[in-house]
Amino acid sequence: MESCAACRRQRKKCSEECILAPYFPPNDPDKFTVVQRVYGTNYIVKLLQGLDTEQRGDAINSLVCEASARVKDPIQGTAKMVHELQNKIAELESQLVAKEEELMNMHSKYDNLLFLQQMGSSNGQDFIYNIDTIEDIMYEQENPLSLWELI
Ligand SMILES: [Zn+2]
C-alpha cells in the first residue's frame, strides 16, 4: 500500500487504519504540507478523532481553506476573505434596493399609463403622445416622462 501524503511527510509507515489517509492522498502532498504547517499533525489527528466519519471530509476541507489563507496572509488569514465577502454582500444588497426602487417606479408608471389609456378610450380619444406603445414609455428611463404633466 502506498503511504498517504501525511505519513510520507512524517516518514512513517502508513496503515489500513491511518486516520489521515482518506483525506491526504499521496498524489496531493501540498494539501497536507499546508495544513501541517499551520495546525501541526497532532491537532489534525485529534480533530479527526473527535468527529464522526461523515464530518471529517468537511473538517479537512475547512482546515485546508483556513491554512491556505493563513499561509497567504499570515496577519488576517480567512478574516480578510470574510471581510471582502461582507463588503461584496453589502454592495449587492444596495444594488438590489436600487433595482427594487426602479422596478417600483416602472410599475407605477405602468399603472399610470393603464389609467390614462382607460381615460382616453372612455373619452373616445386616442393617445396624444407620439410614442407607439406603453412598453416604449416604460423603457424611457433616461428621460422619464412625467405623465401627469401631459394631461
Ligand atoms: Zn497514512
Q: Which comes out higher in pLDDT, residue 38 or 145? A: 38
Last residue of a domain, one of 20, 52, 72: 72
| 145 and 109 in a common domain | yes
pLDDT at residue number 137: 59
Q: Count Cβ atoms within 10 A of the Cβ of residue 60 and give its class: 0-12 exposed, 13-18 middle, 19 or more buried.
A: buried
Residue range of the domain that includes 120: 80-150
Span of 30-39, 74-83, 121-130 with lowest mean pLDDT: 121-130
Torsion of CA 22, 26, 29, 34, to 10 degrees: 10
Task: Output the CA 64–ligand 1 centroid distance in Å.
Answer: 17
Q: Which comes out higher in pLDDT, residue 99 or 130? A: 99
Q: What is the pLDDT of residues 44-55, one digit of tens each?
A: 999 999 999 999
Residues 18-38 have a mean pLDDT of 96
pLDDT at residue number 138: 59
Last residue of a domain, one of 72, 107, 124: 72
pLDDT at residue number 130: 47
Task: Output the CA 70–ligand 1 centroid distance in Å.
Answer: 24
Task: Output the CA 19–ligand 1 centroid distance in Å.
Answer: 7
The answer on pLDDT for 112 being more than 50 is yes
| 146 and 90 in a common domain | yes
pLDDT at residue number 119: 84
Q: Looking at the 3D structure of the chain, how many domains does it have?
A: 2
Task: Output the CA 119–ligand 1 centroid distance in Å.
Answer: 81
Give the number of C-alpha atoms closer than 13 A to the C-alpha of residue 131, restricted to the C-beta side: 15
Last residue of a domain, one of 16, 39, 72: 72
| 91 and 68 in a common domain | no
| 105 and 88 in a common domain | yes
The answer on pLDDT for 132 being more than 90 is no
| 92 and 59 in a common domain | no
Residues 9/33, Cβ–Cβ less than 8 Å:
yes
